[in-house]
Amino acid sequence: MLSKNLPVFNDFANIAGKRIIVRVDFNVPVEEEGGVITDDHRLTRTAPFLKRLSEAGARLVLLSHLTEKKTHRSFKPLLDTLRLKTDFPLELAYSIKDARNSASPAVLLENLRVFRGEEANTPAFAEELASLGDIFINEGFSQSHRPYASIVGLPQFLPSFVGPLFYEEVTKLSEVFEPEHPFMLILGGVKFTTKVGVLEHFMTSADVVFVCGALANTFLAAQGNEVGISPVEKDAIARVQDMFLGRKNLLLPEDVQVEGTGARRVGEIQAEDFIYDAGPKTMVSLAEKIRDMRMILWNGPLGLVEKGYSQGTIDLIAILANCSAKVIIGGGDTIGFIRKQKIEKDFYYLSTGGGAMLEFLAKGALPGIDAIFASRKGAQ
């Protein structure tokens, strides 16, 4: 198993006075007005390890980024909240020089995306980052599918490890490669291109594969069904027909919620309809299937949650919270709903990864993992 070979950092007895660079994921959802963090899942999962490093006498340099609507935005408005969540006095450094010269026990380098060498993964920028510390620890599993300097370039220059959360992610997600049966994959969201690798990998090993969300529109259209004005990836239809349709373990929605008129059965969808969520009959059938499962893997919402159509997703959370299977869930929207209900403990594992989770499940590896292993070989 991959996780058995991962070098996990645990040498807390010998780090007093050393500078330790930790790649974290502080790319948290933030309200555009007021800078309020709306989901601190990644922060709370990372904070205990950072605090332990700090209490052992290490000087921390934290690396992270902000993206989406926060592109090139500063960490400055979030600093007080980050200090509260990490439970130590972070100092924000606006440049690598500032970070290098800081006497603070914990420094957060400004948003990595403002540095040109980050996304380009230039060796010069990776080496600059490495100059900030004596040891590198990747605790950002959720960003380790990105071949950026702070993920894959930096380990070339320093003794490198993964942190405990990273290790836990790999260990828990790896369980689905040899799942307990019956095993169900639930795959929602939007883009076929980001999900196809997972579908290919698990279509032969899963007892049931339920495709939902906007992703299901493409599958329904590939079957020849009318899906109205709902989004469909036309370029993927032929591939869906060749690779997935006709599989006995494939489960698609039997009815859907359409805008303005409630639920319609598949086959009764009108040309002007827009599908925005799973229908009630679909949820009943899904609940019956779930009752027999021993392991379930879920990534991606059932509906257009960003527009407020979240009932199918919320209903599925309730079903899974009360089932007897080992349930592993990833994806920010879904985890956000679970945390709002404060029922995290009702599930076997909640991943911090979205895209990283999907890539790891599809390939069994990530650029960030490969970089750590390569650094170890280079040090031998």
pLDDT digits (tens, 9 = 90+) for 303-351: 998 888 999 999 999 999 999 999 999 987 888 889 889 999 999 999 9
Report the alpha-carbon angle 334-336-341, nearest 5: 105
| Long-range contacts, stretch 336-344, CB < 8 angstroms, 24+ apart | 336/29, 336/38, 336/39, 336/41, 337/305, 337/310, 337/313, 339/39, 339/41, 341/317, 343/317
Q: For tokens 């007093």, name the residue.
A: 16
Whether residue 78 is predicted with pLDDT greater than 90 in this model: the reply is no
Class of domain 179-347 (CATH, top level): alpha beta
Which is more confidently placed, 379 or 54? 54
pLDDT confidence band for 257 (50 / 70 / 90): very high
pLDDT digit string, tens, across residues 89-124: 899 999 999 999 999 999 999 999 999 999 999 999
Quote the pLDDT of residue 28: 81
CATH fold of 2-165+364-379: Rossmann fold (3.40.50)
Name the residue with higher pLDDT: 38 or 135: 135
Q: Which sequence spans correspond to the domains of the chain?
A: 2-165+364-379, 179-347
Please tell me if the domain spanning 2-165+364-379 has the same topology as the one spanning 179-347.
yes
Decide if pLDDT at 68 tops 70: no
pTM for the predicted model, two decimal places: 0.92
Calculate mean pLDDT across residues 295-302: 96
pLDDT above 70 covers a percentage of the chain that reads: 96
Higher-pLDDT residue of 139 and 73 is: 139
